[in-house]
Amino acid sequence: MRVICLTMVPGGGAVTTGLRRLGYTPYTLRSVFLQGRATRHPAVWTAAMQGDEAADLRKLMCDFDSVAGPPATALYSKLLRDCPNYTKVILVEEPNKQEWARSYDKCITPLLQSPARRGRNHVSKAFYTLIRKMIPHQENLAELPDEAERVAGRVAAVEQYEAEVRRSVPAGRLLVFRHSDGWGPLCEFLGKTVPGEPFPPYDDGLHIIRNIHERVERTERITFLLLFVFGWGVLYAFYPVVVAVKKYFSQMYRDYLTVYRSE
């Protein structure tokens, strides 16, 4: 793992696009649920967030050389313990935390307040658990009824998180970055040549959560449909047997009545 990008933006936002342009292969929230990983990766991340020290995050990301945004944002301490000393950390500051918190709250809170959050399969359950826990210090904010209180709580949580990262990550390994900084500081920090193109535009990443949510819900509906079809298939396959058994016992009962009933 060469680079850890700590940002509240799902998918890592513009910095993820920038890292790809610089030749990195970042692991993001999309990576958790796509390309056949949804059956295992969400459960491992969820276990790690619940304190399971046996959860091997390095194994999940063995095909990647960097990681950006949630869910890694919530587990940077564990990642740093497991990473080599040359791993660099980018802390992406949100310049307008109030605006970010409002947008994030409007996207996340309805999902976490929906009855569907309980899920009917392990992928769905892991998804809802993951989005509740993937932003540090915000796990229970969706339960608050007042929007202003939730937004204020999210702003305070981001400020607390950014302060924690500055304190805990050695200065020589840390770049505090804002989107407005552009290529310069990022390329200097990573030892890369500045590309001859503008830095990628700002992306709040909320469309990624919506997209994954749609996929998870679709998968759950398909699973339910397949089980329904399978159940009918089994019933259809065994229907002749059921009819034969019913006929057999009906005949036995008639024979019983013929022999034993009173005249």
Full-model pTM: 0.80
Question: In the 8-state DSSP scheme, what is residue 120?
Answer: S
**How much is the pLDDT for 259?**
47
Residue 177 backbone zone (phi > 0: left; psi -120 to 50: alpha; other: beta): beta
The per-residue DSSP string of 188-245 comes to HHHT-PPPSSPPPPP---HHHHHHHHHHHHHHHHHHHHHHHHHHHHHHHHHHHHHHHH
In angstroms, the CA 49 to CA 77 distance is 11
Domain ranges of the chain: 3-226
Q: Which helix (H) or strand (E) holds 104?
A: helix 97-113
Is the CB of residue 92 less than 8 Å from the CB of residue 9?
Answer: yes
Is the CB of residue 91 less than 8 Å from the CB of residue 12?
Answer: no
Residues of the chain with pLDDT under 50: 256, 259-260, 262-263
Where do we find the tokens 């089994």? 234
Q: What is the pLDDT of residues 7-43, one digit of tens each?
A: 999 999 999 999 999 999 999 999 998 888 888 898 8
**How much is the pLDDT for 238?**
65
Mention the CATH class of domain 3-226.
alpha beta
**How much is the pLDDT for 129?**
83
